Amino acid sequence: MTPPTTVPVRRALISVSDKKGLLDLARALVAHGAEILSTGGSARALREAGIAVRDVSEHTGFPEILDGRVKTLVPQVHGGILGRRDLPAHVQQMEEHKIAPIDLVAVNLYPFEATVASGAGPEDCIENIDIGGPALIRAAAKNHAHVAIVTDPAQYGEVIAALENGGTTLAQRTKLAGAAYARTAAYDAAIAAWFAGQEGEVLPPRMILAGEKRESLRYGENPHQKAAFYTDGSTRPGVATAKQIQGKALSYNNINDTDAAFEAVAEFDEPAVVIVKHANPCGVAVAPTQAEAWDRALRCDPVSAFGGIVALNRTLEAEAASRIAGIFTEVIVAPDATAEAREILSRKKNLRLLLTGALPDPAAGGVVVRSVAGGFLAQTRDSGRITPDALKVVTKRAPTSAEMADLIFAFRVAKHVKSNAIVYVKDQSTVGIGAGQMSRVDSARIAATKSADAAKEAGIDHPLTQGSVVASDAFFPFADGLEAAIAAGATAVIQPGGSIRDDEVIAAADKAGIAMVFTGMRHFRH
């Protein structure tokens, strides 16, 4: 038989943890002649509001037991939900066992994710694993030909409108059923991830990804691609947790680039500015003031900075805001901004200002995922950080203290540059960045060329790389890449080491009289 198109709601079961919008939904149900069955806190909230409600235990003739763990897991409830109204055998059995049909189920689940996020202990987390709720949701969703399943207060408006038109339509119930299964899948994914974490498994045998659509985007990387932004419930400060103060809606590329910029700027303790273009830093600097850090970061590559993303690791101040607003900038992201800075930027109506409230911890763990045909790759976040005592001097000359500080700075920047990455640094500012080349020597040469162009732009009569240090995200497979850096004016080098030709590369460094240190740690970024 063909399922009915419109199903009036004569009986509804309500059991919700999130009480938002509950009274509006319940009043609409009662106004349209529905009997409401409910439990626990939901029933209490309805009664306190003067809404007629019948306890599930009264309806079933079976009391809530085991501290409320068992209250809806009974045939009178699940039979009322799962029974098919179009099958005479089902109708007959429901009548024989005095099982009344239930036409709408409104359930949202125990707040397991919020409980975990609060730092609660294992016992509290386990008690917030909902059992009856998912069972009700899945039952109603399965029988959506006859039953409407409502799992989110955001759906109440649509349901109330349907009641005004005589009941829910099959199209509406199908849509609600799909959303219901997505919700229970995400809930189970969160529980599975928590159990894996309890066992110390970062990459468990079965990984389940779940996200909630935050917004649909105009398009993806290109206008012919569809895109949306999903959040996964994690609390790592960044673009997903930020509050947008002003500006146009973020694009797919804006979100990707902003994430890259904010993760990079969090590497530094001093006031820092990172400028990103197409997911690569094109200028990074630290300085005593934000304004100076901005000026020095911009000097590295003022051409690429046009239309870029700017990240800061301090509350944005007025002077820095004024200078940043002096060129076309897509997004500024910072932990906060002063009232004066906000007022200055408000004059740039299209500029997006994002405030995150905090910085991400570069040393914190986590998993990053990338899709491939037929599956996805997962790896732990690159949280590696080098310190001076971890470095191995491999040349006859050791770096000076100033060079050592710049080397560490350069290697931290290289961690955020697409491979093959070469980063020249002088006085805690990038002066040349080569990114994403197939050959490391090409990255070294491109960075030097861009440095020369930037020097000309600034009216400086020598390349900015003269007297700089240089970082390579991975080892030099041949001496030619190092020789290109030496030709650009580098006086010290930091690289992971580990090539079969390390001796050849070290010999080239010694011949030029420069210092070189090995980190033993690689920072590939693809």
Give the residue numbers annotated as catalytic, written as ranges. Answer: 142, 278
> Apex CA 380: angle with CA 280 and CA 436, to 5°?
25
CB-based contacts of 285: which residues, under 8 Å, 6+ apart? Answer: 272, 273, 292, 293, 294, 295, 296, 297, 300, 428, 429, 430
Token pair of 430 as six digits = 């990038």
d(CA 419, CA 442): 11
Q: What share of the chain is helix, strand, coil (3-state, %, to 5)?
A: 40, 20, 40
Strands (E), 352-421: 352-355, 367-372, 375-380, 392-393
- Strand 422-426 to 272-277 pairing: unpaired
Q: How far is CA 300 from CA 1, 252, 290, 458, 494, in A?
A: 71, 26, 16, 10, 20
Closest of 155, 162, 152, 170 to residue 28, by C-alpha: 162
d(CA 126, CA 191): 9
CB atoms within 10 A of CB 314: 19
CB atoms within 10 A of CB 376: 11
